[in-house]
Amino acid sequence: MQNVIITGADGFVGSYTTQYFLSQGVAVLALDMGAAPNRLKPHPLLTYRCCDITDTAALEASVPAGVYDTFIHFAWAGSAGPARVDYQLQMGNALNTVACLKTAKKLGCSRFVCAGSIMEYEVEAAIHSQGSRPGMGYIYGMGKHIAHCMCKSVAADIGIDLIWPMITNAYGAGELSPRFVNTTIRKIIKAEPLQFTAATQNYDFVYVTDVARAFYLIAKNGKPFCEYMIGSGTARPLKEFILEMVQALAPDQTPIFGDIPFTGTNMPLSVFNASAAAEDCGFRAEVSFAEGTKMTMDWLKTIE
């Protein structure tokens, strides 16, 4: 693995991953929507290009074939916020992922690595339960699951290795979205009440630098047509994560459990099993949740 293409390279996870690949001596063609990168810093091995990847024909025309060996796909519109429930947008993301897979093959890449999500498992559990009425919040995960299913068949048909890392819950310094860790830390900073569900559902979190290193190791060592869960390796009930975070960041504050109803799906701990990434690829998370949330809070304080 010497030359890679990374889409969504200036995003939260994409930028950390791009920087890690560069640190390992891998040349990166970084593709994103901005005229210039906001997160990425200049590097001798980095080429940045403003690119709308929905126009894969233009991408094929502008990138020389036979130069890049691996295509890593992060670009996905509506990964946070209200757009997660836009089913037309999420279906478009899935179709565009397949188009990028086919483009990777045309450009001579031998491997296509796409950022999947643990929500794919949540979708399966919610949809296939008799009488279930899954909420609109599952639409994002449905898009990822559809992309996974279609890519696996298309990759087998056209002859390119598909590797599918599945992120549990990435967090860390630099994330701007209103996801769980960010929202909770902001409440801690403002000394607002910490109200949660009973938080008995199983969960996992993984710091963004660990995610970036996982993508490098999975792209390098992952087995074709396999999926790899990227997590801390210590999945447990959400309540335990919350208590760890509060103890590390605000030991004088008391979280309140049970005030908010839980309407999601509780998955067994076996779903979070990250042993394949360790055994096949050599990845093990290094940043504890207490340490990671502390770094995230320190960063959030600089922008609040």
User: How many other CB atoms are found less than 10 A from the CB of residue 211?
Assistant: 27
Please tell me the predicted confidence (pLDDT) of residue 80.
Answer: 83
Distance from chain centroid for Cα 160: 22
Please tell me the predicted confidence (pLDDT) of residue 161.
Answer: 98
Q: Where are the domains of the chain?
A: 3-167
Spatial distance between the Cα atoms of 236 and 200, rounded to a whole number of angstroms: 9
Spatial distance between the Cα atoms of 179 and 113, rounded to a whole number of angstroms: 24
Q: Which token pair is 252?
A: 């004088």
Residue-wise pLDDT for 212-253, tens only, equals 999 999 999 999 999 999 999 999 999 999 999 999 999 999
H or E segment at 18? helix 12-23
Q: Per-residue pLDDT for 304 more than 80?
A: no
Spatial distance between the Cα atoms of 144 and 163, rounded to a whole number of angstroms: 14
Instruction: Give me the architecture of the 3-167 domain, per CATH.
Output: 3-Layer(aba) Sandwich (3.40)
Spatial distance between the Cα atoms of 118 and 97, rounded to a whole number of angstroms: 17
Please tell me the predicted confidence (pLDDT) of residue 116.
Answer: 97
**Residue 121 near residue 145 (C-beta atoms within 8 A):** no
If you average pLDDT over residues 30-49, what whole number do you get?
A: 97
Backbone φ/ψ region at 33: left (φ over 0), alpha (ψ -120 to 50), beta: alpha
Residue appearing with tokens 């801690």: 188
Please tell me the predicted confidence (pLDDT) of residue 265.
Answer: 83
The mean pLDDT value of the chain amounts to: 96
Residue-wise pLDDT for 166-181, tens only, equals 999 999 999 988 899 9
